[in-house]
A = this chain, B = another copy of it.
Amino acid sequence: MKTKGCLYGISLGPGDPGLITRKAWECLQQNAVWTYPKRNKKSDSYAFNIAMRAGLELPTEHQALIFPMTHDESKLAKHWLASAQTVLEYLQQGKDVMFLVEGDASTYSTFGHLARTVQSLDEDVELNIIAGVPSFHAAAARIQTPIAEVDDTIAIIPAGYGLTMIENLLKNFDVLVLLKVKPLLNDIIDLLKQKNILQHASFIEKAGAPEERVVDDVASLYGEKVNYLSLLLIKNPDRVRGEMIRGCRKKTVSE
């Protein structure tokens, strides 16, 4: 007999309801409890909106959970605990809980915090994570430019690490995906211009959502306030190759 519900991490993809996987879609038809993250009581839930745009029917029980945008750890811990307790109550009633997230549940998602906190309260809780399409892969499809081919190397970082880090990564990586570019955009534009690779950068905001915006002329964004859900995809054709040790090498390099 099943006594406890299962906690599902349901990835909805970056915004286009067509990018929801068949498995996630099936999970959302089962009239299980839906939960979804919100920044605060008054804000919208991006994940919930994807499900609504998809034409999915709301289940009998559904509830927003607050995940504030802050680096204040005590504030975060308080909200994670409250969310986990809400979820655990449903689970202990034998109900499955679907936690809806945009993008992929394992990639810069609030699902990890929720799952960890729930399992810290009750280690027997079972998880089921349905993988999804992350925003940067949808962005690459949208601009019809491969993220990576053959031997390419990819770095994905929140842009907040700053210009020195970005500059260093250009030595080793063919592709940089810079997330949350908003506060640093002007500086990054200057850096890419100076490196003469600005023409290889694309800006994508809310990939797949109705408000999606793709800007190939990244320089035109200088001075503009962009959305939080925006990224830069930078190809780096100048990287010096030749370090690659082909798959068939026979010798050990170091030990």
Q: Which residues does A use to contact B, with CB under 8 Å? A: 9, 11, 13, 16-23, 25-26, 71, 104-109, 111-113, 115, 127, 129-134, 137-138, 140-142, 144-158, 160-165, 167-169, 172-173, 180, 182-184, 187, 190-191, 194, 243-249, 252-255
Can you give 6 A-B contacts (C-beta < 8 A)?
A: A19-B21, A115-B144, A132-B133, A153-B157, A161-B245, A187-B252
A5 CB, nearest partner CB in chain B, Å: 17
Interface residue from B16, B182, B254 paired with A247 (Cβ < 8 Å): B182
Provide the residues of chain B in CB contact with A160, threshold 8 Å: 151, 244-247, 249
A120 CB, nearest partner CB in chain B, Å: 14
Decide: A140 and B107 in contact? CB cutoff 8 A: yes
A190 CB, nearest partner CB in chain B, Å: 6
Decide: B22 and A137 in contact? CB cutoff 8 A: no
Given contacts A21-B133, A109-B146, A162-B245, 5 further A-B contacts (CB under 8 A): A19-B23, A107-B148, A108-B148, A134-B137, A154-B155
Decide: A247 and B163 in contact? CB cutoff 8 A: no
- Alpha-carbon distance A19/B130, docked complex (angstroms): 8
A209 CB, nearest partner CB in chain B, Å: 14
Provide the residues of chain B in CB contact with A18, threshold 8 Å: 21-23, 26, 130
Provide the residues of chain B in CB contact with A180, threshold 8 Å: 247
